[in-house]
Amino acid sequence: MLPRVEPAGDSAPVVPAGVPVRPPFPARGLLAGVLCYAAVRAFGVLVLAIWSAADGKSAHTLLAARWDSLWYERVIGQGYEFTLSAPGGRTLSDMAFFPLLPWLEGLVSALTGLGHGDAGLFVSSVSSLVAAAGIFATVHAFGGGRSAFLCVVLWAALPVGIVQSMAYSESLFMALAAWALYCTLKERWVLAGVLASCAGLTRPIGLAVACAVLAGAMGRASRSRPGADVVLGVAIAPLGACAYVLWVGARTNDLFGYLRVQRGWGNGFDGGLAFAAFVRSLLHGPAALAAIALVLGVGLLIYAYCLGFREKYPPPVQVYSGIVLLLALCTSGYFGSKPRLLMPAFTVLVPLSTLLARCGRRTVTAVSVTVVLGSALYGAFWLNGSGPP
């Protein structure tokens, strides 16, 4: 047990007893992590380009002008006016898509002359590098440099990691969420609140970031009286998401209009009943092995999350990951989206990255090469097949 470190003054961070005190992250280690991340994602895009060319498709179109990317482009060009009738009488509204990414895409397009799809790729590419740096910084704050580096590699090489290179909102959200978590751990409350608010303007899961800031503030309040910066940070954190949800309510003349919009897309919180029904349907068909693998995968995710409590990961980290897992696994909707909805829960990779950090160089290299190659091949197969919705 380490001794309690007392603050130098009222504004200095208080480090609880038992929490390792780590120096600020090394710039060289952070740079190495970001460069390695860029190399992994560049390899994934290269494999996608080769696979797509062999399949007679355009990798550029798959990355910048399909699925959700088209909805963001419509928001830029038309504002929030577009709806689409879906089977079963449902109405798909573009108000399901939060506004920060199309705002940035429109700004980049206006400044550079790029088309909206290419502007989206630019925003996503820059954001993914910032996200990699944020992941390294956050994990380094409680897990150490080697674990942080390997966590960045594992996150880059997720099976659906190709989404990080698409004109989607995942990379932008992760950049904001990871740095908001880091600022929370370092008790930079106002900046944490601003970043959390921006995350809330990017994806509905921004709720998890705001709750993480609140958890950090509650921990601070349990040790000493919170200052004005703590209160301000907590107050700012949910404003982005709240503002957009209220705006949708005003546009639809329904306070709960955003929930109605999501129901049109088939999304809603059901405690995991729809997901369980989906798995059960697979068990009674030719995809039984896939169903068993899916159940095992979810079990491993939950186990990795629970390890965070045993290893005493900071409460904001556990709150954030817990809400991401809960919302991803316990909402209805298109089940092919589940893997990318789970992507923001990067901290569940920390137990694996920590385990790898204790292994020899050959083991680390073998595992890294395997997951990077697997991610690149799966990403190319996925986008040239069903792809993300």
Q: Residue 205 — left, alpha, or beta (φ > 0 → left; ψ -120 to 50 → alpha)?
A: alpha
Which ranges constitute the DSSP H helices of 79-115?
Answer: 100-112
Pairwise CA distance, residues 340 & 329, whole Å: 11
Pairwise CA distance, residues 264 & 254, whole Å: 14
Banded model confidence at residue 22, pLDDT cuts 50, 70, 90: low
Pairwise CA distance, residues 250 & 246, whole Å: 6
pLDDT in tens, 72-116: 999 999 999 899 998 878 899 999 999 999 999 999 999 999 999
pLDDT at 14 over 70: no
What average pLDDT score do residues 335-343 get?
A: 87
Residue 220's contacts (CB-CB under 8 Å, 6 or more residues apart) are 14, 187, 226, 230
Domain boundaries, the chain: 30-383
Banded model confidence at residue 23, pLDDT cuts 50, 70, 90: low
Nearest to 318 by CA among 138, 128, 127: 138
Residue 110: per-residue pLDDT: 97
Pairwise CA distance, residues 223 & 15, whole Å: 9
More confident residue, 11 or 35: 35
Percent of the chain topping pLDDT 90: 79
Pairwise CA distance, residues 91 & 126, whole Å: 33
Encoded amino acid at 295, one letter? V
> DSSP code of 254?
-
Using an 8 Å Cβ cutoff, are 75 and 104 in contact?
A: no
pLDDT at 173 over 80: yes
| Range of weakest confidence among 64-68, 163-167, 277-281 | 277-281
pLDDT at 61 over 80: yes
Residue 102: per-residue pLDDT: 98
What average pLDDT score do residues 207-221 get?
A: 97
Using an 8 Å Cβ cutoff, are 352 and 21 in contact?
A: no
Q: Which DSSP string corresponds to 136-188? A: HHHHHHHH-HHHHHHHHHHHHTSTTGGGGGSSSSHHHHHHHHHHHHHHHHTT-
What average pLDDT score do residues 313-327 get?
A: 97
- Integer CA distances (angstroms), 219 to 14, 194, 210, 215, 321, in order: 10, 19, 14, 6, 17
Pairwise CA distance, residues 325 & 345, whole Å: 7
